[in-house]
Amino acid sequence: MIPQHPQRMKAVDDTNGSAPSSASNLSDLPETPPPVNSDPPSSPYNRRSVNPLISEDQFACHCCYDILVNPTTLNCGHSFCRHCLALWWDSSRKTECPECREKWEGFPKVNILLRDAVERLFQDVVTRRRAEIHGNPKTSQSLLAFQRYGDEQAVRDSNRSHSGRGAGGFFSGVLTALTCVAVVLLVYHWSSGDGVHDLLVSKPVSKWTPEEVLFWLENLGPWASHYRESFLKENVNGRLLLMLGEEELNRHPFNIENLAHRRAVLAELDRVKELGVKPPQNLWEYKAVNAGKSLFLLYSLKSSPRLTLLYLYLFDYYETFLPFLHTCCPAFSPISQPMEDGLPLNNQLSVHPTWHQWVEFLVKYLLLPYQLIAEFAWDWLSVHYWTSRFIIVNAVLLSVLEGCAVWRLYSRAAIRSLPQKMWGHFWRMSSQGFAFALFWPVIPQFACNCLFYWALYFNPIINIDLVVQQVMHPDTRVP
């Protein structure tokens, strides 16, 4: 007989489920089973099933009432699913808690500790919810828009921090320097006596002195200096000036034999007789006559050039609109050719524009309205050297900003809302114009001058800052 190994026999008995033969082995068995531990060691991924004290309700979002996915904690302490918060922001555009309505500061971040805890406790549920979220196009778009909003907030905060250290100081220094230059120019303008001559645009011609008549003659152009001595010898004042005609100018003592010169003087005399005062011939004279109108045009041209030009066409056609159109869109005809010796063309500016001028004007009016303003300022470089350059630079900057605004609408697929925005802009500008006309009589002249020079000289610096922001951190990029 083959002997059997005792350990092998024990293993066979255990396998077959037979009771052990030794009584000592029976006495070694415990009388009662050992107690079950309530918290046995297990994998952290199985805690949902083994620990009844932790449930999904304790980690539920108060928007969707489901398990938190990418939990985002606000300043108030409430946590929500990130896609729920994005949907709330996208629908309301409010930076406030959906539960307690407290506004949050900055841009909400994902609570990493809470996210990791939820994912370990409820891995299957979180995985299923992530798949549902990514499969919903509306939710994905809201998340993308919400994240873009956060990127814009980060860019703005970065710009503020950089501007506080460098750019802001630079532009503040430029504004301070320009303020000093503007004050010096204004003091020089007032001390040089130019303001006295500006009174001619509001002083009746019959009360002009001989010195004021000479000043009027010199403003006609360099060619008029040839006849200064004859006017001075005759001591021509305002009353005598109104009685002059073509025969008197052609004879002694004036002797204006040049036909073009004589016609130019007669044309200016006709304008003076018609208006009763000296017509404005530069920006400062126009401002002296139309202080409120010049301020209104300056601000409205900046924010709404098309409506402003339409206003000039409807309510100030002959005095302002026609000279503006003839200057920006000159007619290519013999009548528009400049006279010899730089004679003024005021008598030609009253001629009705040709259809070529209207076509050119309408194209620029619809597409590049600020180019019309730049061309008008360019024509006055010899009269307003620095002021014209400020206006030209400002017109270029405003054109860039307008182009960025249009591109932003196109990139966000909001170009269809352009008519609605234009209609709202029309009513807003109309209400502002009505309020300006209502409160203008009570605005002090000093405040008017401050607003005028601020809009004329300092707005270009502000627009430079805006253009730099559009170029460095544009809001017009396609996501």
pLDDT averaged over the chain? 76
Q: Give me the residue spans of the domains in the chain.
A: 55-192, 197-275, 284-472
| pLDDT at 114 > cutoff 70 | yes
**pTM of full prediction above 0.75:** no
Tell me the two tokens of residue 23: 């009584």
Maximum mean pLDDT: which of 26-30, 101-105, 303-307, 331-335 = 303-307
* Average pLDDT rounded to a whole number, residues 457-470: 80
Q: Which CATH class is domain 55-192?
A: alpha beta
Q: Are 309 and 365 in contact (CB under 8 A)?
A: yes
Higher pLDDT, 192 or 337: 192
Least confident span in 183-192, 202-211, 367-376, 420-429:
183-192
- Structure confidence at residue 404 as a pLDDT band (50, 70, 90): confident
Give the list of residues 6+ apart from residue 3 with CB closer than 8 angstroms, or none.
none
Terminal Cα distance for the chain, rounded = 88
What would the pLDDT profile of 272-321 be if each residue is shown by its tens digit? 888 888 888 788 888 888 888 888 888 888 888 999 999 889 988 888 88
From CA 286, how far away is CA 269, in angstroms rounded? Answer: 19
Q: Which CATH superfamily is domain 197-275 in?
A: Transcription Factor, Ets-1 (1.10.150.50)
For residue 359, the model assigns a pLDDT of: 92
| pLDDT at 347 > cutoff 70 | no
For residue 81, the model assigns a pLDDT of: 92
For residue 42, the model assigns a pLDDT of: 43
- Structure confidence at residue 186 as a pLDDT band (50, 70, 90): low
* Average pLDDT rounded to a whole number, residues 52-78: 84
| Helix or strand holding residue 109 (H, E) | strand 109-110
Placement of tokens 């996915």 in the chain: 69
